[in-house]
Amino acid sequence: MVSSSEAFEKQIEQQSLQGTANNIEKSGGAPVKQVISSRLALGISFLCAFVFATGSFLLVGHFFLGAPRSLSFFEAPQEHRGDELFSTALVVGSHGIYQRVADREDLNPAVGSDFLMFVWFRLKRIPVTGESMSLIGKFDAQRTHKPGFAVSLEGAPDGVRPRVYWNNESGQGRWYSFTSRVMKRKEWYLLGVSYSRDTFLSARLLEAGGEDADSLLGGHRIEPSFAAAAQADLLLGAYGSSRFRGQLGPFGILRGRSFDREIPNYLSAIRAHPRDIPSSIDSSIIRLWASPLVDQGPHHLKLETVTVVPVKKERASSTMTTAPKQSPKASASKRVKKSVKRKQSKPGKR
């Protein structure tokens, strides 16, 4: 038998539960929605705090330790990033890439005219000693003596030296080396190669933003004189098997009469105005002035960007465009030296 006090407590409890149910029903379940909303807001707050903390940690680590590979999503890939000096620079990445200009007679040196070719370049890495990187080429690889001209960069113990190939139909020319200079990777340089007075082959190198007056890397006297002309397209960049990797800026060719004394001034003006044609250079001697993607000169020549597709050695074509190699005489002398070394290395009879 239930006592009167216990019956009274049960009655109070039932009334309390009934009142709570009525309140929830009248308010349309508002207390339940409030609980869900508060939990959702709390979850979003925790997520925001986590993202903020993680981002702060990564940014602080980037500031003190440099950008690790895991942060590559914060910046554009190197191949597609603009450059502060040349926004339209040609980027030579993992695969070779070069610019091609169809053959024209006025892109060749000519007897009785001075000749200057220039190119802006930036190395991704410095070539090791003995390593060669082809940069410019206009030569006929199908001919016996490969007439024409080419420019390459070669690693040396004391820096990097330009080398110029200068040859004609008779095979009177060869590769000519110039004084080496210390170069820094990812720095812009202006290289100029000239042939003047039908005799002197010279090379000059200027650093972007520099003020060095002595840019001459030496010269060679070409005797008997000849013009290294070829019926071939002009190539600039990592053509053939070139190992050049980096960026290429504007390049061009000037040809005209008696401007040899102005060559240093022309190159200084090009350095001072790297993105435009300097007003001090007469347009009549401009044969090509590429940006490097578009010819800004008076002839508006068509430029084609070509990507080198890697091929297997056994399938490589024998007519592939590659920089001219050393003369057969030099190769033969090397073979003789190697054979002598092999004989000397054999053990003597006992």
pLDDT at 339: 45
pLDDT at 324: 74
Q: Specify the long-range contacts of residues 24-33, CB closer than 8 Å, at least 24 apart.
A: none
Ranges in the chain, pLDDT < 50: 1-2, 4-5, 8-9, 12, 15-17, 19-33, 35-36, 58-82, 314-320, 327-350
Report which DSSP code applies to 187. Answer: -
| Residues 132 and 153: beta-carbon distance below 8 Å | yes
pTM more than 0.75 = no
90-309 maps to which CATH number? Answer: 2.60.120.200
pLDDT at 209: 86
pLDDT at 96: 87
Q: How far apart are CA 233 and CA 102, in angstroms?
A: 5
pLDDT at 309: 79
Domain coordinates in residue numbering, the chain:
8-63, 90-309
Q: How far apart are CA 162 and CA 238, in angstroms?
A: 15
pLDDT at 46: 61
Taking CA atoms, 143 is separated from 147, 231, 274, 311, in Å, by 7, 10, 36, 24
Q: How far apart are CA 108 and CA 101, in angstroms?
A: 12
pLDDT at 271: 95
Q: Which two tokens stand for residue 68?
A: 């690790």
Pairing of strands 188-196, 200-207: antiparallel
- SS3 letters for 193-255? EEEECCCEEEEEEEECCCCCCCCEEEEEECCCCCCCCCCCCEEEECCCCCCCCEEEEEEEEEE
pLDDT at 201: 98
pLDDT at 72: 32
